Amino acid sequence: GHSFWRHEWDKHGTCSMSRFDQVSYFTAALNLKKTVDILSCLKAEGIFPNNRKYKKNHIFGILRREIGYKPAIQCNTKSGKQQLYQVHICVNKLGKQFINCKVSIKRKCTSPEIVFSRFPIF
């Protein structure tokens, strides 16, 4: 809904106001999203959101190969196990091309194996 898009703009988009208005910011993001299908590339390698553990480095390698650049993976901890929380894909300042992520990630995945949790059903 609108509150999600507002949050994303306020948290991430406003720092790019010298280059993008809201519409062009989200248009650029959606155009880049069309070029990578994270779930499909993981599924093709036998990795599914099924509450099982997978090797973190294997997931990272698949994503890096699919994107063509280094992503950042974020985990959270639930019931003492680290689980895949977010995949960050970084882009250049023009919003037109992926680049290697060099960001400092909170909640890093420190375990060699991480759980890929099922998606919640609403």
Residue 93: predicted pLDDT: 87
Residue 108: predicted pLDDT: 86
Q: To 5 degrees, how large is the angle CA 88–CA 74–CA 9?
A: 45
Entry pTM: 0.84
User: Measuring CA to CA, which residue among 93, 91, 70, 85 is closest to residue 116?
Assistant: 85
Residue 14: predicted pLDDT: 86
What's the whole-number mean pLDDT along residues 61-89? 93
pLDDT at 77 over 80: yes
The DSSP letter of residue 16 is G
* Cα dihedral 40→121→85→95 (10° resolution): 60
> Residue 41 class from Cβ within 10 Å (0-12 exposed, 13-18 middle, 19+ buried)?
middle
CB 101 within 8 A of CB 70: yes
